[in-house]
Amino acid sequence: MPSISSTAGATSAPPLAAPAPPASPAPSRAADDSLAPAQAAQEPRRPAHAAQEPLRPAHAAQEPLRPAQAAPELLLPHAALRRWLVACIVAVFLAVSVGGITRLTESGLSITEWKPVSGVLPPTTPEAWAVEFEKFQRIPQAQTTHAGMTITEFKWIFWWEWFHRIIARTVGLVFAIPFLWYLAKGVIPRGLRVRLAWLPFLTLCQGVLGWYMVSSGLSERTEVSPYRLAAHLSLALAILVIALWTWADLTPRKDEAAASRGWRTTVNALTALIAITIVTGAFVAGLRAGRIFNEFPLMGGQVVPPGYLALGGWWRNALENPVAAQFHHRTLAIVVAGFALVVGWRARGAALSALQARAMRRLVWAVMLQVAVGIVTLLWAVPVALGALHQFTGVVLLTAAVLAVHAVRSAPPPFRFRASAAHSPVSLPSS
């Protein structure tokens, strides 16, 4: 009772000197002995509480799960597919470049048979080389373009064509094996399976089309058909565009708005002109039209060259007349260059994102580079090195154009991966 009253007084009035509480008697030994069992009974609780301490490491062991749960679900499969697509893009670049050198060195008809499996092994004995040389001497090109060629010179063009075919087979494996691997592992999302399945299928078609092109120059012609050559190059570039566009779709990108409709239409139109110009370049190559009128900007001292309408029929004249083929190609190149300069100038002050503006600059520089290399190649009458460089920079230009078209569109929606694939690391089959 005194303690209650003193507490109440402490809350309502100034504190008063409270009488000292009576001293409690010191506990006796008997009391200590009586309390000891009670204290001892409480002591085991501390070890029991301590026994719960190991639960903390178990709880801590779950901590690494938090970053995995917070990480983007699409990161690992996206990275694996992007690495594969980069390998595909590089393989196409290599195949197109070697194919250009094979054409420029007149090596494409040196192997007169198509043996997809046994053709991997080249001749290794003098007798085998003699057999291949004899087969080559039967075709018209050996009696005209390569008249008087020795077996040593034949080996040089043979190795270029053999290397080109080996590269083509390698490209097919680069496309097919990882695709089947990722498909079996469930890494490829449903929205990409059909698109990516086109890559190995079109690569197989490219091999068949390549032999169809070569066969056109083995009986009556001294070179391959320019139509088949243009189709062969166009299919290779179509494969490149599919791989490149898919790579861009899988590349992380800010959720930015698309450019205006006017900009999208402009970039699409410029890209279409670039593609048409590249295809006309294939006809220039197939008709050997780059070795005539080696001057710029006029042709034979005229804007419209003499012999422009040498063949009857507009389409036949445009696609089979070397003079018309070169005139159309260089005219389209000039139009593309002027169009690109206007696009680059207007992009400087346009309402474009950083990605879109960067894509526009790269496209303009790629156009200027291609036009410059093309003019020098023409003036020098298409030497092998410059001709191969011109074809390579043409593929670079198409790459820049495709990426520009992709950049001015809105960011694509994320693809849905299987949960098991999204949380497990994925690598190329070779790794």
Cα-based distances in Å from 430 to 185, 315, 419: 15, 48, 24
* Res 47 pLDDT > 50: no
pLDDT of residue 410: 82
If you average pLDDT over residues 55-81, what whole number do you get?
52
Q: What is the pTM of this model?
A: 0.79
Cα-based distances in Å from 162 to 125, 338, 397: 16, 40, 28
What are the domain boundaries of the chain?
A: 73-252, 256-419
- 4-19 pLDDT tens trace: 333 333 333 444 444 4
Q: Under DSSP, is residue 186 helix (H, G, I), strand (E, B) or coil?
A: coil
pLDDT of residue 10: 37
**Residue 235's closest CA among 211, 266, 264, 270?**
211
Lowest mean pLDDT among 55-69, 314-328, 365-379: 55-69
pLDDT of residue 412: 74
pLDDT of residue 298: 95
pLDDT of residue 255: 66
- 259-282 pLDDT tens trace: 999 999 999 999 999 999 999 999
Structure tokens at 220: 């009556």
* Res 354 pLDDT > 50: yes
pLDDT of residue 414: 66
CB 417 within 8 A of CB 187: yes
Report the Cα–Cα distance between both ends of the chain, in Å, rounded. 84
If you average pLDDT over residues 184-191, what whole number do you get?
89
Residue listed under structure tokens 């080559």: 136
Question: What CA–CA distance (Å, rounded) separates 270 from 336?
Answer: 7
Question: What CA–CA distance (Å, rounded) separates 123 from 136?
Answer: 14
Q: Under DSSP, is residue 302 helix (H, G, I), strand (E, B) or coil?
A: strand
What's the whole-number average pLDDT of the chain?
A: 84
Question: What CA–CA distance (Å, rounded) separates 99 from 243?
Answer: 19
| Burial of 152 from C-beta contacts in 10 A (0-12 / 13-18 / 19+) | exposed
**Residue 168's closest CA among 96, 114, 246?**
96
Cβ neighbours, 10 Å, residue 216: 18
In this predicted model, which residue has the larger pLDDT, 253 or 219? Answer: 219
- 358-398 pLDDT tens trace: 999 999 999 999 999 999 999 999 999 999 999 999 999 99
Cα-based distances in Å from 117 to 120, 135, 164, 257: 6, 19, 15, 50
* Res 217 pLDDT > 90: yes
Q: Following DSSP, what letter does each residue of 205-220 receive, concatenated? A: HHHHHHHHHHHTTTTT
* Phi and psi angles of residue 428, each rounded to the nearest 5 degrees, phi first: -65, 150
Question: What CA–CA distance (Å, rounded) separates 427 from 431?
Answer: 6
Question: What CA–CA distance (Å, rounded) separates 341 from 337?
Answer: 6
pLDDT of residue 98: 96
For residue 152, what pLDDT band results from cuts at 50, 70 and 90? very high
If you average pLDDT over residues 152-163, what whole number do you get?
96
* Res 240 pLDDT > 70: yes
If you average pLDDT over residues 202-210, what whole number do you get?
96
Tell me the HSE value of 102 on the side-chain side, using a 13 A CA sphere: 26
pLDDT of residue 254: 75
Task: Tell me the percentage of the chain whose pLDDT exceeds 70.
Answer: 77
- 107-140 pLDDT tens trace: 999 999 999 888 899 999 999 999 999 999 999 9
pLDDT of residue 418: 57
Structure tokens at 401: 């154009």
Numbers of helices and strands, H then E, in the chain:
17, 0
pLDDT of residue 97: 96
Max distance between CA atoms of the chain, in angstroms, equals 134
In this predicted model, which residue has the larger pLDDT, 258 or 87? Answer: 87
* Res 305 pLDDT > 50: yes
